[in-house]
A and B are shown apart, each in its own frame.
Chain A
Amino acid sequence: MNRLRILSLALSVTAVLCCCNSLVVHAADRPLIQANLRWSKPASAGLGHPSVLKFVTSSKLAIAGPPEDLPGGASLKQGRVEILDVATGTVTQEIPWSAPSSKGNFALIAALPLSDERFFFQSWDQLMLFSAEGKIVATRTLPIESKQADYNPDLTLWDIWRFLSSPDGRDLLAIRHRVTSREIEEHWLSVEMLEDLQLRTSSGPDNMMAVGREQELCRAAVPKKEPIAIRTKNGESHALCPKCYGSTAVFLNENQIVVSSWPRARFLVVSTDGPNSSRSNNRQEG
């Protein structure tokens, strides 16, 4: 999938500013931003294909290896996430994690940067909020239900949780895909204590892509037929803009959204005002 995405992005490097006076900017042939090697180190055993490679702050990198089954057919698999100092590459912290062996390898771990250099970490059903110094300041245990698959008695299905944070790291959304019902729960969590601030339940497909302070971005049910939608919390959704067809959209900040779209490799920078905004002033295409 990543390869396909990269290939689709490879179609063009041209950046086009779509304004009254169209301006075409080509990517430079030589680097204008210098990338200077700070450090290099062999990847630790088991860290070759991490499920997490994420900066949790500007000075801390989280890297996790794939889970390892414990010997003897244990019911748990385990792993660890290393927090590296960006300046030196030294491991400043290790966070162990574990999950049932019958659980798939996806959606086990999440690491998100939050405001004030704090960061959020999920391991299976455990949520942890870390201070800038790397101390745990809040924890929470998530409910996770399971059931046997109707079509395979050897297969156990589990609830899946996804996590999104706003660009400023002051809003945190936990999305629960329940295995026992078609309902999807959206839990807005406090970034101070991780308790529920608001719970919303929906029966539609989970299509949430990104969250901001006051708005959410939703992938269209049929992406090539409908543009990406935006909605205010608890409000009705509407098309972000008439041309906002895309596979991915993220908040650049509270006022701008970046949409990665097809068939040409391009991205749009759109005002959060969406269709209410002036086309010539509020949208860039790249």
Chain B
Amino acid sequence: MSVAPQSHQIAFVLGPQYLRKKAGKLSVLIYDTARKKAELVMQITERIQIQTVGGFEIEGRTGPQIAFSPDLRSLAVLDDSTLQMYALTP
């Protein structure tokens, strides 16, 4: 959860409601406290990694790391290999 004091906005991330076999999606939303409205910004597919430990397959699901700028005008998304920067515009 990130907040933007100047614009009175709250950014947050929602994950899949249920675990499924295929990768789910993470939804990035922004809630505007003045307009009392949540808006979907983008969706990011979660990553499924399977490791074999002691003969057992262990499945891990991870999302990218996400950071919002203080003014909520920029969004940084980092996964294992790529860093992406988005401009957020209404």
- Nearest-CB residue, chain B, relative to A250: B3
Asked if B37 is at the interface of the complex by the 8 Å CB criterion, the answer is yes
A119 to B63, CA, bound (A): 28
Asked if A17 is at the interface of the complex by the 8 Å CB criterion, the answer is yes
Contacts of A33 in B (CB 8 A): 30, 39-41, 88-90
- Nearest-CB residue, chain A, relative to B3: A252
Contact A50 B37 (CB under 8 A): no
Nearest-Cβ distance from residue B9 to partner chain A, whole angstroms? 9
> Which of A1-9, A102-110, A178-186, A200-208 binds B?
A1-9
A239 to B81, CA, bound (A): 44
Asked if A71 is at the interface of the complex by the 8 Å CB criterion, the answer is no
Binary interface profile of B, 32-73, with partner A (CB < 8 Å = 1, else 0)?
A: 010011111110000000000000000001110111111101
Interface size class of A (residues with CB under 8 A): 35 or more
User: How many residues of chain B have a CB within 8 Å of chain A?
Assistant: 51
Which chain B residues have a beta carbon within 8 Å of chain A's beta carbons?
1, 3, 5, 8, 10, 12-17, 26-31, 33, 36-42, 61-63, 65-71, 73-76, 78, 80-90
Contacts of A286 in B (CB 8 A): 10, 31, 38
Contact B82 A13 (CB under 8 A): no
Known A34-B89, A43-B81, A58-B69; contact A86-B17, beta-carbon cutoff 8 A = no
A27 to B61, CA, bound (A): 24
Contact B74 A86 (CB under 8 A): yes
Contact A267 B42 (CB under 8 A): no
Known A17-B36, A55-B69, A252-B10; contact A38-B15, beta-carbon cutoff 8 A = no
Asked if A240 is at the interface of the complex by the 8 Å CB criterion, the answer is no
- Nearest-CB residue, chain A, relative to B31: A286
Asked if A25 is at the interface of the complex by the 8 Å CB criterion, the answer is yes
Contact B14 A37 (CB under 8 A): no
